[in-house]
Amino acid sequence: MNKIKLVTLVLILLSSAILNAKVITQEEFIDNMVSKHNFGKLYLTKLLGKAKVKSSILKIMFRPAKKSKGKGKPWYKYRKIFVNAKKIKGGVKFWNNNAAVLQRAETTFGVPAKIIVAIIGVETIYGKNTGGFRVLDALTTLAFHYPRRADYFRQELENYLILTHEEGMDPLQQKGSYAGAMGIGQFMPSSFRNYAIDFDGDNKRNIWTNNADAIGSVANYFNKHGWQTGKPVIAATKIRTNSIKKLLALDFAPKYTLQQLKQWGLLYFGTEPNYTNGMIIDLKTKIGTAYWLGFQNYYVITRYNRSKHYAMAVYQLAQEIENAK
C-alpha cells in the first residue's frame, strides 16, 4: 500500500471513530452526577439550565493556533510577551508586597519565591487578569460543545460542581478564563481540589482574591509535582550536529541520564553528575536554534503548562525579577 492510500485510510478510520464515539449529553452527565455524587437531579437540571453556551469561547478554541496568544510563535517572539519590563517591574512589586508569605511558602514547600512570583505573573499579571467568564458557562460550553476535548472538560465540570459544593460557593458566581481556569494562579477545578490550600488560616481556600492562598497553592502544586529544592532548572548546552534529530525525538520528560545523553551526542560540561536525569530543549532565536538541558525542575514547570516556551518564560522571568529586586 502506498503512502497516500495509507494516509487516506487512516483519516477514514479516524473520522469513523469520531462519528461513532459515544457523545455524553447534558442529561446523561446530570444522571451520572446524581448516581456518583448524590447530587439532586432537579438542582443540577436547573443549575445547568442557567449556564450559557458562549460562542466566543468556541471561537477561541477553534481558531488556528498561530492566532492564539503566543502559540505558534518562535521563542524569541514568544519571550517578549512574558519577559518584559512591565512584567519584571510588576513582579518586583508583587514580591515586595507579599514578601513574608512568599518566604513562608518557600520555607514550607521548598519552591523558590521567584518561581512562584513568575508563575503568577505569566498566568494573570499578578492577579490583574484572572478572567471574566463565569466558570460554569465556560466548562458547560466546552463539555458539551467542543468534541475534541469534551471528556476532559466534563471531568473539570464534575470537579467544579463538587468543589463549589465542598467550599460552600455559588457555582454561578465564580469567574475564570475561557477554559475554566480560576483565580490568581489559574487552577483548573481538579487542580483546585487536589492542590489549593488555605495558607492564611481563615479556613477558606480563596485563590481568587487572597494572595496568601494563591501563593501557598502554587507552591504546594509545584511541591506535589516533584520540585527538587536547591536543584537547577535548566542550562545552556550544545549538541553534536549529527545527533540533533535523535536527541530532539526523545520523550518530553527527564527520562534519560546525562551519561546516556552524552553518549547520544549531548555536549554538556556542567557540574551535574552523570546520573542526573535531563531532557533536551530547542528554542528558536534570531540567529538560529539554541539548545538547553532541562532538569526535573524544568519538567515540573511544564506540569503547569505543557510547553517548552512557557516553562522557559517562567524561568527567565523569575531570574529577571530576582535580579531587579
Of 76, 58, 231, nearest in space to 137 by CA: 58
Which residues sit opposite 238 in a β-bridge?
267
Domain hosting 211: range is: 24-63+130-224
Active site residue 123: yes
| pTM over cut 0.85 | yes
Mean pLDDT calculated for residue range 123-132: 97
- 125: phi > 0 → left, psi -120 to 50 → alpha, else beta; which? left
The confidence score (pLDDT) of residue 72 equals: 79
| Beta carbons of 290 and 236 less than 8 angstroms apart | yes
Tens of pLDDT, residues 195-216: 999 999 999 999 999 999 999 9
Tens of pLDDT, residues 282-297: 999 999 999 999 999 9
Asked if residue 265 belongs to a domain, the reply is no
Mean pLDDT calculated for residue range 18-27: 69
Asked if residue 38 belongs to a domain, the reply is yes
Q: Which H/E stretch holds residue 253?
A: none
Asked if residue 299 belongs to a domain, the reply is no
3-state secondary structure of 299: helix
Asked if residue 160 belongs to a domain, the reply is yes
d(CA 40, CA 43): 5
| Beta carbons of 315 and 234 less than 8 angstroms apart | yes
The three three-digit cell numbers of residue 120, written as one number: 503568577
pLDDT beyond 60 at 13: no
Tens of pLDDT, residues 147-204: 999 999 999 999 999 999 999 999 999 999 999 999 999 999 999 999 999 999 999 9
Asked if residue 151 belongs to a domain, the reply is yes
Asked if residue 140 belongs to a domain, the reply is yes
Asked if residue 109 belongs to a domain, the reply is no
The CATH number given to whatever domain includes residue 40 is: 1.10.8.350
pLDDT beyond 60 at 15: no
d(CA 165, CA 89): 38
Helices (H), 21-124: 26-37, 41-49, 55-62, 75-82, 85-97, 99-109, 113-124
Choose, from 27, 28, 106, 123, the residue flagged as catalytic. 123
**Res. 24 pLDDT band, cuts 50 70 90:** confident
Asked if residue 161 belongs to a domain, the reply is yes
Lowest mean pLDDT, pick from 53-67, 70-84, 120-134, 253-267: 53-67
The confidence score (pLDDT) of residue 275 equals: 97
| Beta carbons of 50 and 61 less than 8 angstroms apart | no
pLDDT beyond 70 at 19: no
How many structural domains does the chain have?
1
The confidence score (pLDDT) of residue 64 equals: 63
The confidence score (pLDDT) of residue 58 equals: 96
Tens of pLDDT, residues 63-98: 864 444 556 799 999 999 999 999 999 999 999 999
The confidence score (pLDDT) of residue 7 equals: 41
Residues with Cβ within 8 Å of 276's Cβ and at least 6 positions away in sequence, in order, are: 257, 258, 295
